[in-house]
Structure 1
Amino acid sequence: MGRLLGIDFGLTRIGIAISDERKIIATALGNIKTKDKPLEALENLLAKYSSMEAIVVGLPLLLNGKEGDMALRARMFAAILESHFQVPIIFWDERLSSAQVERFLTECGVNRKKRAQISDEQAAALILQDYLNCHSKKN
């Protein structure tokens, strides 16, 4: 029984989250800067966790539901992840997840600098938790 990894892909930072082994709770794990070696940084983040069953990648669809440039880039990054980690990729609609996280952090009184530091990993956790919630109802 492995964990699920959640990814919020961005051009500057990639937010990372991970599920517990029972696939009930998503936890924000951190951010990776895209200019660094993202696969190596991701391996370092995951070193202390048990095996990964799949990767849930947020698919940034346009508001009309179609795929734009960012969705294409997320799919390209996902293909690299799939090849490197040899686990299935699951795409999950992440429309407005970053805006939802930003609003929540603002309402909680988190200052702008701290929001910028944690918003991507929190968006990854939100995407992954949404996926987990949806699939726990089906089981």
Structure 2
Amino acid sequence: MSILPSNKPDTSHILGIDYGESKVGLAIGDSETRMAFQYGTLKNDKNLLQKLAEIIEKENISKIIIGVTNLETRFPSPARSLGNSVSKLTNVEVEYQDEMFTTRQAQRNLIEKGAKGIKKFDDQEAARLILQGWLDKNL
């Protein structure tokens, strides 16, 4: 079952990704609400692409936003490689969003909310910030 407020079966969603060497944070939102929500964290292992493909199908994802640093926007990077691979596998469009300071801001947000286990949730909060930034800028 989807965590999103819209219960329309034909509503498409947008997936935000904060790529890391060991963990990949996920957030989900849509153009109707223009709000991003934390979704989860995946291990960055050999099953990552398959797990992403399953989420993309389950949540009816129509676009993927992946955070990259300013330097990565000009040069190949692991985040861009992931974007290319997931787009080829799922035929879903991928765009890139600057992720400058999102992890630091995510940790601050979690501290302010009194969250326990900040390291457990900072990747998905960073993904939420990346996606929310894209939604604010593009919709």
TM-score in same-fold range (> 0.5)? yes
CA distance in 2: counterparts of 1:23 and 1:55, whole angstroms: 17
* Counterpart mapping for 1:1-139 below 5 A: 2-20=12-30, 22=32, 24-50=34-60, 52-61=61-70, 66-67=71-72, 72-111=77-116, 114-136=117-139
CA distance in 1: counterparts of 2:50 and 2:30, whole angstroms: 22
Give the superposed CA RMSD.
Answer: 2.1
TM-score w.r.t. the length of structure 2 is 0.81
Cα shift at 1:47: 4.8
- CA 1:56–1:99: 2 relative to 1, 3 Å: same
Aligned 8 A contact 1:16 1:30 in 2: yes
More deviation, 18-27/72-81:
18-27
CA distance in 1: counterparts of 2:76 and 2:104, whole angstroms: 17
- Give the SS at the match of 2:77: helix
Cα shift at 1:46: 4.2
Aligned 8 A contact 1:17 1:30 in 2: yes
Cα shift at 1:75: 0.8
Off by >6 Å, runs of 4+ in structure 1: none
Read off the aligned partner of 1:56 and give its amino acid letter.
I
Aligned 8 A contact 1:17 1:121 in 2: yes
CA distance in 2: counterparts of 1:93 and 1:3, whole angstroms: 20
TM-score w.r.t. the length of structure 1 is 0.81
Post-superposition CA distance 1:47-89 (Å, at most 9, x none): 5423x2211010123xxxx339x96111111111111111111
Aligned 8 A contact 2:99 2:130 in 1: yes
Aligned 8 A contact 2:52 2:86 in 1: no
> What's the % identity of the aligned pairs?
28
Residue ranges of structure 2 left out of the alignment (5+ in a row): 1-10
